[in-house]
Amino acid sequence: MVRYIGLLVTLLWCSGWSEMALAQSLEVKGRWLRSADGTVMVDPQPSGLMLWQQQLLSVSDRSAHVSQRLKIHPIDASRATLNGPQWPIKLANGLKDSCFADYVTDNPDLEALTADPHNPKAFVTVTEDASRSTLTPACAKRYGQSGSTAFPTLLLRLELQHDDSLLVTGMRPVRFAPEYRVGNFPNDGIEGLAVTPGGTLYLALEKDLAIQPRIFQITIDERFWQSQAFIDVEDAELLLPEFASGNHPINGLAYYNPGQGAGFLLAAARNDDQLWILDLDKALPTRMLQLTFLAEAGGDCDDWQPVTYTAIEGLAVQDQTLWMMNDPWKENYLKNVICDINRPHFQNMSALLFKLPLNPLWFKKPM
């Protein structure tokens, strides 16, 4: 059951909203992500999305096709097409003796992508599932108590080089205080990152021991990457919904400021096909917008076909537009097949790029 129902009704009344308006499902259309030659990309498994120099950048997780792993994919959003060669990710020489080097160089599970607030050519990603990896005894003594998984979550700094490759030039393991009761869920960890211009990095956790989504925060200063020591996160104490049952994870995160206060976080609630709007000033409860997804089609179908199993995991804001990209859910993606023209795309676990205009009313605060 969602908390703050009474407050929500009051705020909706004051701002001229109605509960029916909030419950209305928003139709969102998506185009197939294509390579430069026009062919639909095969199994990119996008797990993060961000805007950089008026293009989108996405990152793939460990379950992607081998040709897509350990790479950043630059995308021309207007055409839903790769914007040039992909950028390979490599480990800097100075980090090859790290406790985490073997994992980071051997198909790590990269989730989420955001900017390094102190360098316009550097980015931050995060690792999730490392259940197949182990720490040496010496490393386990140093990093074994993460407050979550046996192999800790890692924040990685990716620095763009002149040849359009990316070097991992910083690694910080994440530690959760015991009172946060995060739990040992290797594949239900941090799935979203968003950073503010001031350097506050928000981390979205899929679920804790109470099966509730959480958002934590840290500050990235100019010396943040000079250490490989644990970084301790704090609960952001945002007005998140709380659920009595079911799994309602946050799988993507983006920062947006319409020009008022501290701004908002936009969160993708993948399992619920919802966009959550989180007020960083904590004046408004979470607004939960229901989304209905459509994929470009044609042929034996209409121009657009409904997509039931979408699994949004990437969010990026460009001016007044929210771009969303899905991470095809391999167990369920083929259940979307309706039209023959789209059958090979679903079979190849191809991703879709969705466009949603941001409505100023979603961010309106009571007078």
Q: DSSP letter at 153?
A: P
Q: What is the dihedral of CA 357, 362, 363, 365, to 10 degrees?
A: 160
How many secondary structure helices (H) and strands (E) does the chain include?
5, 23
Handedness of CA 207, 211, 213, 217 (dihedral sign): negative
Q: What is the CATH number of the domain that holds 125?
A: 2.115.10
Provide the CB-side half-sphere exposure for 132 (13 A, CA).
10
Q: DSSP letter at 344?
A: H
Tokens standing for residue 239: 């007005």
Structural domain for 161, as ranges = 5-363
Distance, in Å, from the CA atom of 67 to the CA atom of 42, rounded to the nearest integer, reads 9
Distance, in Å, from the CA atom of 294 to the CA atom of 140, rounded to the nearest integer, reads 46
Count how many domains the chain has.
1
The one-letter amino acid code at 92 reads: A
* pLDDT the model gives residue 17: 39
H or E stretch at 23: helix 19-23
* pLDDT tens digit at each of 367 positions of the chain: 444 333 343 333 333 333 434 457 999 999 999 999 999 999 999 999 999 999 999 999 999 999 999 999 999 999 999 999 999 999 999 999 999 999 999 999 999 999 999 999 999 999 999 999 999 999 999 999 999 999 999 999 999 999 999 999 999 999 999 999 999 999 999 999 999 999 999 999 999 999 999 999 999 999 999 999 999 999 999 999 999 999 999 999 999 999 989 999 999 999 999 999 999 999 999 999 999 999 999 988 899 999 999 999 999 999 999 999 999 999 999 999 999 999 999 999 999 999 999 999 999 887 6
* pLDDT the model gives residue 300: 85
* pLDDT the model gives residue 366: 74
Tell me the pTM: 0.93
Three-state SS for 68?
helix
